[in-house]
Structure 1
Amino acid sequence: MAKAKFILKEPNSKVETLIYLIYNYQYKRFKYSTGEKINPKFWNKTSERAKESKQFKEYPEFNARLDVLENGINTAFRKLLNDGVQPNNANLKVELEATLSDKILKPNKLTFFSFVENYIEESKLNKKEGTIKVYNTTFKYLKEYAQKYRPIHFETINLEFYNHYLSFLRIEHNLSSNTVGKHIKTIKSFINEATERGYNNNYDFRNKRFKTIREEADTVYLSIEELQKIEELDLKASPRLEKVKDLFLIGCYTGLRFSDFTQIKPENIVSNNTVIEVRTKKTGQRVSIPLHKTVRSILEKHNNKLPKAYTNQTMNDYLKEVVSLAGIKELIETTITKGGKVEKKVLAKYKLVSTHTARRSFATNLYLAEVPTISIMKITGHKTERSFLQYIRVSQRENADKLLTHPFFK
C-alpha cells in the first residue's frame, strides 16, 4: 500500500531545517523537497506535523500545507494508475507538481546566485567559520566569471561551463589543482543543496566528467628518530620556540589537529593519567588516546596546563625554525600543478613542516609500527581505510622495509 510521510532533513538541528515528503509505493521510494522549513523543537515526529504551540502560532496553516502535499501525492499516484501508467519517481514528480499547481504556492524561483547568497547567510548559523570563508571565496570567483564571460544559471551549469571555468581558475588566477578542486567541490555542494530543495532540475553536475580535481600533495612526515631530535633540543634560551616545540610534539604523539592539541586541559586527562579524551572541534567526535611518555613528560612540565598557542600561521613560521635547529634539512623534490603547468622545486625538509605534519606523523609512525589500521582510524577519524592510506606518508623504501618482517618474505 502506498504511504506518504514527512521527515526532517536534520532532526537534531538547532535552527530551521527542510522537510521532505517521502512516498513509499510498489517497493519504491519517492523523495520530494516540500520547500517548507521548521525548527525541530516545534515538530511532532509521531504526527509528522507541527506541534500546536503558542511559540509557533502559524502551525494551523503550516500543517494545512502539508495536508495539501499529502493529498496531492496520493491523487497523483491514483491518477497514474487510472490512466494505465506505471508510476515511477520521474512521472510521479511531474504529476504531483501538476496536481499542486493550483492548490499550493511553489517555492520561489531563485536564481543560482540568489540561492548561493541565501545559503551562505543561512550557513553562518550552523557551519564553521573556515567553511564560510571557503564558500565566500568560491562565490567571489563565480561572480567574477559571470561578469567577465557569461551569466551563470542553474540550467547553464553543464560540462561546457565546467571546462571553461577550470581554465578560468587555472590560467587567469594561477590556482593549484587542489585549490581548483576545492572550488569545484564547493560549487557541486551548492547545486546539490539547491537540487534537494527543489530549485534545480539540471543534473549535469552529477556527470562523472564534472569531477572534483585532486592532486596528491607533497606533504612530509617526521620519523620517530626525527621527533627525538626535536625533543632533545634545548630551547630554554628562546621561550617562544620552546613553547612551539612542546605543543608540536603533543600533536605528533596524539594525532590531534592544531585546533584540538592546543586546547588540551587538565579535565581531558582521564583514567589515572593514562588517556587523553577530547571532543574534536572539527567533527565533534569524542576520541580517546593513550598518553605517550613524551606527552606525559610535557604535561607534567606545564602542570597539565599547556601554554597558550600562537596562531596557526605564526606557529608554522616558528616551527620551521625549531625543525631546522634539529638539523632536519634533507632535500625534498616537490611538484605542484599551478596555472596548468607542473612546477618542480627542491626544498629542505624543514621548510615543508607545518602544524598538520604532526597529525600525519602520528598516523604514519603508528602504521609503520604495525598498529592495526582500525585503531589508528579511531583516533584520526578517517571513515574508510582507502582515505586513511592516502593520508599517511610512506615511501617505497619504507614500505619495502616494513614488508621484510612479513612471513611471506621470510
Structure 2
Amino acid sequence: MAKAKFKLKEPNSKTETLIYLNYYYNYKRFKYSTGEKINPKFWNPTGQRAKESKQFPQYPEFNSRLDILQNGINTAYRRLLNDGIQPNNEILKKALEAELSGNILQANKKTFFDFVEGYIEESKLNKKSGTIKVYNTTFKYLKEYAKKINKSIDFESINLEFYNQYTSYLAVDSNLSANTVGKHIKTIKSFMNEATERGYNENLEFKKRKFKTLREEADTIYLNVDELKAMEDIDLSSSPRLEKVRDLFLVGCYTGLRFSDFTQIKPENIISDKSMLQIRTQKTGERVSIPLHQTVKNILKKYNNNLPTAYTNQVMNRYLKDVASLAQLKDEVETTITKGGVMKKEAVKKFNLVTTHTARRSFATNLFLADIPAISIMKITGHKTERSFMQYIRVTQEQNADKLLNHPFFN
C-alpha cells in the first residue's frame, strides 16, 4: 500500500531545515522537496507535523500545507492507477505538480537570482565566512554578466551555451585565472544542485560532462627538510612578529595541519606522555593524532605549550615571505598561469611563493620522500583517496627516480 511520510533534511539542526515528502509505492521511493522549512525543535517526528506550540503560532497553516501535499500525492497516485498508467518517479512528479498547480507550487516559484540571494542569507547561519565570501563573489559576477548581456539569468538559462559564453566572459573580459573561473563554475553548480534538491529547478544541463569545473595545476611548492632547518636556525629574537610567524609555520610543517588548525592548538591538545598531538580539525570535524616531531616539541616548550596568537592568514603569508627570504630561499622557480585566456610564464624567487599552505604540502611531501606509507600520511592529512593525495605532494621526476633506485626491482 502506498504511503506518504515527511522527513526533515537535517533533524539535528539548530536552525530551520527543509522538509522532504517521501512517498513509498510498489517497493519504490519518490522523494520530493516540499519547499517548507521548520526548526526541528517545533517538529513532531511521530506525527510528522509541526507541534502545537505557542512558540510556533503558525503551526495550523503550516500543517495544513503539509496536508494538502499529502492529499495531493495520494490523489495523483490514485488517478494514475485509475487511468491505467503504471507510476514511476518522473510520472508521479508531474502528476503531483499538476494536482498542486495553482496552490503550493506557484507560491514556491523563485527566480535563480532570488534563490541565490536567499540561499546566501540562509548559509550565513551554518557556513564559514570564507564560503559566504565565495558565494557573494560568484553572485556579483553573475549579476555583472546579466547586466552586460542585458538579459536575465534564470534556472533555464544555465545550459552549455551559457557555460561557454560565461567562462569566456570571466577569463577574457574579467581577466580571471583558469582556477578562479573554475571556482565560480563550481559554485554555480552548487547553487543549482541545492535548488534542484529543493524543487525549484528542473534543468539538469549543469550536470553534463561538458559543464565542467576548469582546473589548472597550481605552481605550489614545498620546503624540504634542509630548507625548514634553515628557517628554524635563523635568529629572529630582534623581530618578535617574524619569530612568532616562523614558529607557527614550522608547527604546520611538522604536523600537516591546516592554518585554521595549527593556529588553534591548545595545551589540552598535547598528550605529553605519548608525545602526541590530538586535535579535531575544523574543516572536516575529524579527530587526528599526530606524533610530535622534535622541532614541534622544542617550539611547544619555548611557549610552555601555549602557542602565540596567530595573525590573519593574509598577514601571516606576508611575513612568511620575509622569513623565507632571510632563510635564503632564493632559488628561481618557473611559474605558469592562464589568465585572460593566455598562458603566462614567469621566474619567481622561491621565498615569494611561500604561504601558510606550503606547510601542509611540505609535511606530506617530506613524509612521502621519507618512505612513510601514503595511507599513514593520509590518516593525518585527511585525504580520502590516494589519487587526491598524490596530486597534493610535490615530487620532481628526479626525486621520483631516486626513490625508485632503492626499490628491489632496480637492484
Please give the TM-score of this superposition, normalised by the length of structure 2. Answer: 0.95
The aligned counterpart of 1:335 is 336
Maintained 8 Å contact 2:97/2:105: no
**Secondary structure in 1 aligned to 2:184?**
helix
Question: Quick one: distance in 2 between partners of 1:77 and 1:40?
Answer: 29
The aligned counterpart of 2:321 is 320
Alignment of 1:3-402 (within 5 A): 3-101=3-101, 104=104, 106-149=106-149, 150-270=151-271, 272=273, 274-402=275-403
Q: After superposition, give the CA deviation of every residue in 1:292-334 in whole Å (9 maximum; x if it has no partner).
A: 1111110001111112222222221221121122222222111
Answer with 270-279 or 137-146: which moved more: 270-279
Question: Quick one: distance in 1 between partners of 2:53 and 2:386?
Answer: 47
Maintained 8 Å contact 1:247/1:261: yes
Whichever residue aligns with residue 259 of structure 1, its letter is S
How far the C-alpha of 1:106 sits from its partner, in A, is 4.1
Question: Quick one: distance in 1 between partners of 2:14 and 2:272?
Answer: 33
Whichever residue aligns with residue 155 of structure 1, its letter is E
How far the C-alpha of 1:101 sits from its partner, in A, is 2.7
Distance 1:287 1:52, change over 3 A: farther
Q: After superposition, give the CA deviation of every residue in 1:320-367 in whole Å (9 maximum; x if it has no partner).
A: 121122222222111111010000011121111111100111111122
Please give the root-mean-square deviation of Cα atoms over the aligned residues, in Å.
1.8
How far the C-alpha of 1:231 sits from its partner, in A, is 1.4
Question: Quick one: distance in 2 between partners of 1:156 and 1:14?
Answer: 35
Answer with 227-236 or 294-303: which moved more: 227-236
Q: After superposition, give the CA deviation of every residue in 1:84-121 in whole Å (9 maximum; x if it has no partner).
A: 22212111101011122366464432111111111111
Whichever residue aligns with residue 393 of structure 1, its letter is R
Distance 1:27 1:388, change over 3 A: farther
How far the C-alpha of 1:191 sits from its partner, in A, is 1.5
Distance 1:374 1:67, change over 3 A: farther
**Secondary structure in 2 aligned to 1:272?**
helix
Whichever residue aligns with residue 17 of structure 1, its letter is T
Q: Which consecutive residues of structure 2, in runs of 5 or more, have no partner in the other structure?
A: none
Percent of counterpart pairs with the same letter? 73
Structure 1 runs (4+) deviating above 6 angstroms are none
Question: Quick one: distance in 2 between partners of 1:349 and 1:23?
Answer: 59
Maintained 8 Å contact 2:35/2:108: no
How far the C-alpha of 1:161 sits from its partner, in A, is 1.0
Question: Quick one: distance in 2 between partners of 1:24 and 1:224?
Answer: 60
Q: Which consecutive residues of structure 1, in runs of 5 or more, have no partner in the other structure?
A: none
